[in-house]
């Protein structure tokens, strides 16, 4: 049995549960009011906690694995292994100042009062830039401190930037980018490692599927080589004869991020009846 900690309620909760659902893992009860539950079809126990506690629980072996924001992990500096970057919960840790304050690089922060919940990350940044500033540790609503006269700048999480804007602040520097991470205790038993590997296999199959499309088209035989060369597939494409003489059906898998460009080129090169189909699961 592998024990996984996820955020009980917050910005990472729904995406963490969705990751498990996409991996075909069913939970024995609805997680909304519970603190722990088990999967019915996979050797996984789920514990719901505050995100700030996850690195410590994973390091101490209270749980085997956890899903936590990189920002939280970097701040807590716990000895855990990052197993996978999960691609959700994306945000950045930024320095922001009142919109009319001058900023000409990190030296503008010299001697200022900076409010943050991320003291350690900020200290490291300032030390690396050789800047001395007064750090004020605040546990929440950091954005409001400049307008209250408590700070000259803030260092906080930003995603869309609308909270900064609403508080009359502007982003002046990004210090780190963050996303949700799957982290593990470094000393997992071989049995737990194996369950984790099975979970990762499913996560990868989903990610690969999301990042690719299946593409089919009809191609005149005399253009087959030219058209096959356009397709940025993983392997050479499959070619099947059509009943109509002189034509073939060409199938391939292409990366999601290039398929629009490829479509235009394929059409221009004489491909017809092009179909692009989503892939449910993909194992490389
Ligand atoms: O109760 P618990 O301690 O578990 O939760 P929490 O309140 O500490 O964390 P939560 O749920 O707010 O965030 C969990 C994680 O989500 C963070 O640690 C980040 O890794 C990630 N994340 C992604 C964010 C944001 N985006 C985000 N926008 N965390 C916080 N914010 C805040 C931001 O600070 C601002 O105040 O949301 C507000 C809106 O942001 P804008 O820029 O879109 O306006
Ligand atoms: Zn928290």
111-124, pLDDT tens digit by residue?
Answer: 999 999 999 999 99
**Ligand 1 centroid to 135 CA: how many Å?**
21
User: 91-178 adopts what CATH topology?
Assistant: D-Maltodextrin-Binding Protein; domain 2 (3.40.190)
* 55 within ligand 1 shell (Cβ under 6 A): no
Which pLDDT does position 42 carry in this prediction?
Answer: 98
Look up the pTM and report it. 0.92
Which pLDDT does position 141 carry in this prediction?
Answer: 93
* 116 within ligand 1 shell (Cβ under 6 A): no
* 142 within ligand 1 shell (Cβ under 6 A): no
Residue 233 has pLDDT above 90, yes or no: no
3-state secondary structure the chain: CEEEEEECCCCCHHHHHHHHHHCCCCECCCHHHCCEEEECCCCEEEEEECHHHHHHHHHHCCCCEEEEEHHHHHHHCCCCEEEEECCCCCEEEEEEEECCCCCCCHHHHCCCEEEECCHHHHHHHHHHCCCCCEEEECCCCHHHCCCCCCCCEEEEEECCCHHHHHCCEEEEEEEEEECEEEEECCCCCHHHHHHHHHHHHHHHHHHHHHCEEEEEEEEEHHHHHHHHHHCCCCCCCEEEECCCCCEEEEEEEEEHHHHHHHHHHHHHCCCEEEEEEECCCCCC
Q: With bands split at pLDDT 50, 70 and 90, how would you rate the model's confidence at 231?
A: confident
122-158, pLDDT tens digit by residue?
Answer: 999 999 999 999 999 999 999 999 999 999 999 999 9
* 12 within ligand 1 shell (Cβ under 6 A): yes
Q: Name the residue with the closest Cα to ligand 1, atom 23.
A: 89
Which pLDDT does position 32 carry in this prediction?
Answer: 65
**Ligand in closest contact with the CA of 68:** 1
Note residues around ion ligand 2 (Cβ under 5 angstroms): 51-52
User: 212-278 adopts what CATH topology?
Assistant: Alpha-Beta Plaits (3.30.70)
Give the CATH number of domain 2-88+179-208: 3.40.190.10
Domain range summary for the chain, segments of one domain joined by +: 2-88+179-208, 91-178, 212-278
* 124 within ligand 1 shell (Cβ under 6 A): no
20-78, pLDDT tens digit by residue?
Answer: 999 999 987 776 667 899 999 999 999 999 999 999 999 999 999 999 999 999 999 89
163-213, pLDDT tens digit by residue?
Answer: 999 999 999 999 999 999 999 999 999 999 999 999 999 999 999 999 999
Which pLDDT does position 234 carry in this prediction?
Answer: 67
82-101, pLDDT tens digit by residue?
Answer: 999 999 999 999 999 999 99
Average pLDDT rounded to a whole number, residues 239-243: 96
Q: Do domains 91-178 and 212-278 have the same CATH topology?
A: no
Q: Name the residue with the closest Cα to ligand 1, atom 3.
A: 50
For the chain, give the mean pLDDT.
95
């Amino acid at each position: 049995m592998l024990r996984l900690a996820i955020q009980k309620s917050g910005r990472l909760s729904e995406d963490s549960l969705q990751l498990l659902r996409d991996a075909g893992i069913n939970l024995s009860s609805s997680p909304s009011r519970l603190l722990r539950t088990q999967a019915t079809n996979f050797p996984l126990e789920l514990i719901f906690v505050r995100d700030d506690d996850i690195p410590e629980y994973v390091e101490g072996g209270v749980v085997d694995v956890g899903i936590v924001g990189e920002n939280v992990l970097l701040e807590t500096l716990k000895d855990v292994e990052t197993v996978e970057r999960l691609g959700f919960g994306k945000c950045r840790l930024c320095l922001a100042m009142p919109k009319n304050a001058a900023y000409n690089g990190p030296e503008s922060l010299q001697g200022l009062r900076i409010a943050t919940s991320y003291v350690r990350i900020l200290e490291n940044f300032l030390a690396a830039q050789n800047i001395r500033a007064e750090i004020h540790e605040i546990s929440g609503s950091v954005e409001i401190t400049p307008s209250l006269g408590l700070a000259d700048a803030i260092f906080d999480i930003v995603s869309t930037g609308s909270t900064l804007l609403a508080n009359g602040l502007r982003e002046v520097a990004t210090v780190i980018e963050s996303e949700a991470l799957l982290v593990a205790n470094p000393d997992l038993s071989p049995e737990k490692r194996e369950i984790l590997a099975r979970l990762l296999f499913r996560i990868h199959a989903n990610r690969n599927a999301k990042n690719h499309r299946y593409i089919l088209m009809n191609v005149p035989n005399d253009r087959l080589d030219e058209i096959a060369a356009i397709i940025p597939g993983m392997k050479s494409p499959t070619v099947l004869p059509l009943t109509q003489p002189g034509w073939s059906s060409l199938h391939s898998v292409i990366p999601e991020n290039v398929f629009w460009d490829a479509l235009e080129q394929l059409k221009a090169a004489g491909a017809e009846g092009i179909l692009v189909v989503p892939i449910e699961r993909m194992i490389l």
